Structure 1
Amino acid sequence: MPFVKYLKCSRCGARYYLKDKPIMCAKGDLGRLDIFYDYEAIKNAVSKDTLRMRPFYMWRYFEFLPVSSWKSVVSLGEGGTPLIKARRLGEVLGLKNLYLKDETRNPTGSFKDRAMSVAVSMAVEFGYKITATASSGNAAAALAAYSAKAGLETYAFVLEMAGYGKVAQLLFYGAKVFRVKGLGREDPTVKMLRIVVEKYGFYPAPSFGPFNPYQIEGPKTISYEIIEQFNWSIPHYVFVPVGAAALLTGVWKGFKDFKNVGFINELPKLVAIQSTGNAPFVRAFREGQDPHNIRPWENPNTIASGLSDPYPWDGDGGLQALKETSGYADDVTDEEILEAMKLLAKTEGIFAEPSGATGLAGLIKAVREGKVGKDDIIVVLITGHGLKDPDIVKKVSGDAPTIEPKPEEFEKVLKEVYKVSLSKEEESREQPKT
């Protein structure tokens, strides 16, 4: 049975019902259709013990998601990602209880798989045959994968600067991909998406709420999993990278859902992190801007291409999330993001793309500024795999030197390039016989 009571526009308050297959507010005000659930019915249908008996993946939480029938569910095994105790990284930062929610383990390499699993499931339930998205790459790749699984077509509009790894991935899934020129106050991919949705009636599935309210429900399950992985308790802080603020809004909604059914009693502080090269949400937080009239960013410029949305479409939800959880928003430089990527890989063996490591960069800054304590329980969301953006990775890491198979060349390059000198003991150590 469906557990959705109704949907309500975040701007005008108009109500909608699932039987009418709503996606966008009919008044055209670009408000998000927030989904309201029957928590009493959910409490009667599911318990902690019920959840423990189910497979550990996203659809374990079926009652908290908008899909009415299991027959509509389109899944690639998303969710159920590990919550890793980051001991070595914690030692470097002076934190005793640092955890990483590793979303790089999802089927297409990012948390967007959660969003698109729900979005495509709803497309199937509503009877659509063609999906369309505006994306920096990750959402498009996820949509293409899940649409392929469901037998649906995908049209993807990506930014001209989108990383080749992301574009190649979704091309392999059979999506029809278009790089869209221009980037300023209006995202050109969103402009193109609106054109095809209005003209051709495609199912819109970008990763922001005003154009599809269902996908934002997927990231809620990150919070559900964190609570279970902490044995039905919560951390003090959760650091979240922010572009359009859909992830932040979804994570907040997830913690609220479990509070509403009595699984937890309070909410963790949420911390939103953007790049200084594109920080409209952070600016709105600092200036106290009207949540429904956030000023777009002029000419975004950041290596975190997944966070390059000039306008935070779900900024109203994100700002409310920070208010309700006593959290805050901050920005970090591209240099800080790159350092976070390197530190994460070298200490914990997790290879994140720039967008995926932005939350960690924010935590490092918070430690430096004394905003978190050494005993605080902290979770950082690592949202996307490093191979999603190979061009940036190559630019940062450089290439490896080439040598002849001779010990003297090995020692020379080791010393000159890697600044390592072998000790006499290491040089003369007898090698095992083979």
Structure 2
Amino acid sequence: MTDAPLTCYRCGATARFPERKRCDCGEPLWFDTDAAAESFAWPDSGIGVWRYADLLPAEIRGRSRASEGVSGTAGATPLVRASGLDADAGCRLWLKDESENPTGSFKDRGSAVGVAWAVAAGREWVGTVSHGNMAMSVAANAAGVGGTDAPRALVLVPDDISGERLAAIAQYDPALVRIAGDYGRLYRETLDADAPVEFVNSDTPLRVAGQKTTALELCEAFASEARARSERAPGASDASDTKFGAPDAVVLPVSSGGHASATWKALRELRTAGLLAERDLPRLYFVQAAACDPIAAAYREGADEVTPAEETSETVAYSIANADPPSGTRALAAACETDGAVLSVPDDEILDAKKTLASEAGFCIEAASATTLAGIRRLSASGELADDDEVVAVLTGTGFRELDAGSATPETVALGDLSERLRALTDAEN
């Protein structure tokens, strides 16, 4: 297979994939798709991740066997207007529900691309470093290929992983290895490991290539609505009508910085394609838990680079508690270059937002995803977001894996007393 070109967003240096993952300047590399973006137009066919095949690495642009199993269902998640939460959010709120991916999180987008590349390259192994959503995603997508020539998944997890998480990963039958030692170092060690395994870690080029389709989808949805409105009322102008074409802002949780970087990459490509004018580029806002917020800390301090957090504490948003994010500086650049921001929110606000999204909008999401609404509330309160801004909150993963059976304690009523209890209950509600 021909090596694919990579480029560094910061210094412009180039390299070849898969030999390199990071630039000599220390920053992560991503696939150079500028030439493909110049001729890109919104596609007429295809679903999910594969709808945007023209912007994926050239080696996997043809639909391969890897894109016909579980990987074929990655993406195509709904963008939902949540008008009932507008007053709470302080803006016109949209929810991009990534829990609709096959393993319940946006991670399937990157895994689908990573596994497809491994199949096309004839790799026997595809791996990742994770103890949660990414581990399950890589294992499931590799298992979905099927056949004797399918790549085997290798998942490296920390040695203190819970039994529940281990069981969730193990069901897909990957090779599972617990590693004793520093988790951040484990990520770095695998990038240069002397082993025939293609590691698709949190911010590696293949994963970023797949994860950028989140932003491509939501921007296409806005563009489609703009066309539909224009066709219904050509030349009409209604100041009270919704603004479309692109959202004013996109808000995501941030951990490693991979998804944040991917979103920025997508916007850059759409600008190159002429599908987004410079003035229409959405502002990117990234949210961390206050207990572990190295990227937000760098933004508050006006720094150009992110340094590891020296003091952290436990947080309900544990899946984004990354003290040393490998793409932290790239995520910081994305926020600054789009006139956005990086902020952090405390656990009580995260839990309140999680409860609101479930009880008032019907979305069961993990605590990490709830940082988006918590962050939006703060941005609106500070005047950063206006009440007529179109804002997309990306809900990155399902909350069904986090439920506590002891948190629900409904009353018990004898069947013979049901009618009386129903009257009392409904009268009280009215």
TM-score range for the pair, normalised by the shorter chain length: 0.7 to 0.9
Gapped regions of structure 2 (runs ≥ 5): 225-244
CA contact (8 A) 2:354 2:370 kept: yes
1:11–1:32 CA contact under 8 A, matched in 2: no
How far off is 1:333 after superposition? 0.8
Q: Find out whether 1:258 has 2:270 as its counterpart.
A: yes
- TM-superposed CA distance for 1:296, in Å, is 3.4
Query: When the two structures are superposed, what TM-score results if normalisation uses the length of structure 1?
Result: 0.82
User: Any residues of structure 2 matched to 1:340-379 within 5 Å, and which?
Assistant: 340-379=353-392
Name the SS of the counterpart of 1:218 in structure 2: helix
Q: 1:202 to 1:306 in 2, by over 3 A?
A: same
- The two structures have a TM-score, normalised by structure 2, of 0.83
Rounded to whole Å, the distance in 1 between the matches of 2:313 and 2:117 is 32
Residues 136 and 308, structure 1, Cα contact 8 Å, conserved in 2: no
Secondary structure (helix, strand or coil) at the match of 2:360 reads helix
Quickly say closer, same or farther: Cα 1:137–1:224, change in 2 above 3 A.
same
Contact between 2:37 and 2:270, CA under 8 Å: does it hold in 1?
A: no
Distance in 1 between residues matched to 2:12 and 2:26, nearest whole Å: 12
Provide the C-alpha distance between the structure 2 equivalents of 1:312 and 1:116, rounded to a whole number of angstroms. Answer: 19
- Contact preservation (8 Å) 2:90, 2:381: no
Name the amino acid aligned to 1:109: G
CA distance in 2, matches of 1:328, 1:101: 20
Q: Is the 8 A contact 1:134 1:193 kept in 2?
A: no
Partner of 2:96: 101
1:271 is matched with which residue: 255, 278, 285?
285
Which amino acid in structure 1 is aligned with residue 212 of structure 2?
K
Superposition map of 1:191-270 within 5 A: 191=186, 194=189, 198-208=193-203, 212-231=204-223, 233-266=245-278, 267-270=281-284
Cα distance change of structure 1 residues 89 and 231 upon mapping to structure 2, 3 Å threshold: same
Q: Percent identity?
A: 30
AA aligned to 2:172 is Y
* Cα deviation, residue 25, structure 1: 4.2
Superposed, which structure 2 residues align to 1:62-141 within 5 Å? 62-69=53-60, 70=62, 71=64, 73-74=66-67, 75-95=71-91, 97-141=92-136
Partner of 2:239: none
Aligned equivalents of 2:51, 2:138: Cα separation in 1: 21
The residue aligned with 1:24 is: 21
Aligned alpha-carbon RMSD (Å): 3.1
* Distance in 2 of aligned mates of 1:25 and 1:325: 23
8 Å contact kept, 1:134–1:158 = yes
2:175 match? 176
Match of 2:408 in 1: 399
Which runs of 5 or more residues in structure 1 are unaligned? Answer: 427-434
For 1:239 and 1:129, how far apart are their aligned partners in 2? 37
Question: What is the distance in 2 between the residues matched to 1:424 and 1:215?
Answer: 52
Q: 1:13 to 1:126 in 2, by over 3 A?
A: farther
State the Cα distance separating 1:196 from its structure 2 match: 9.3
With over 3 angstroms needed to count, the CA separation of the structure-2 counterparts of 1:10 and 1:255, relative to structure 1, is closer
3-state SS of paired residue (1:68)? helix
Structure 1 residue aligned with 2:231:
none
Per-residue deviation, 1:410: 9.4
Q: Which amino acid aligns with 1:17?
A: R
Deviations 1:267-304 (A, max 9, x none): 1111110001110110111123342x523343442111
Give how far 1:16 is off.
Answer: 2.2
**2: CA distance, partners of 1:380 / 1:279:** 19
Tell me how far apart the structure 2 counterparts of residues 192 and 320 of structure 1 sit (CA, whole Å): 22
Residue by residue, what CA displacement relative to the aligned partner does 1:137-191 show, whole Å, maximum 9, x if unpaired?
A: 1111110111112332222233466566644332111123345556xxx535x52
Q: Distance in 2 between matches of 1:123 and 1:276?
A: 37
